[in-house]
Amino acid sequence: MRFANEFGFCELNSFPGCNQIVISNHGYIYPHHQGKGHGTTNHRLRIQRAKWLGYDYVLCTVRSENTKECSILQKNDFKELDEFYNSKTKQHIKLFGKKILFKRMVKNENFNINRKRISFLNGYRVE
């Protein structure tokens, strides 16, 4: 499932064989928004969406040379689980993971992340 906003996009896909794990991949910030903190903003939105969708665990795949995304994940308590060489894409990939807890949903038309008003999940936010 692809999620997009004015800063960029990411994908959240169920892990085959275990429906409580979500794989987050293809996170991207549009070039004119890079270097402005929007990677962190979109990361937080990605985790909120995974919580809202009811997942218990998030796996993230990141190209090893993407040091900005690796830093965002580490700052947000993701554990680096492994690194491998993808023989099809000829790239080194890092695998990160984090347990997430589903919390109750509260009705709210918009909520504030990083001082920007972002409409989120049909007016709900996670507390």
Distance CA 38, CA 100 (A): 21
Is residue 120 within 8 A of residue 110, CB to CB? The reply is yes
**For residue 4, what pLDDT is reported?**
86
Which residue do the tokens 């830093």 mark? 71
Would you list the domain boundaries of the chain?
A: 2-126
With a cut of 60, say whether residue 82 has pLDDT above it: yes
Which residue do the tokens 């049909």 mark? 122
**For residue 3, what pLDDT is reported?**
87
Please state, rounded to an integer, the average pLDDT across all residues of the chain: 83
With a cut of 70, say whether residue 120 has pLDDT above it: no
What CATH number should be reported for the domain whose range is 2-126? Answer: 3.40.630.30
Count other Cβ atoms within 10 Å, centred on residue 21.
Answer: 17
With a cut of 70, say whether residue 125 has pLDDT above it: no
Cα–Cα nearest to 25, from 77, 69, 75: 69
Mean pLDDT of the 25-45 span? 91
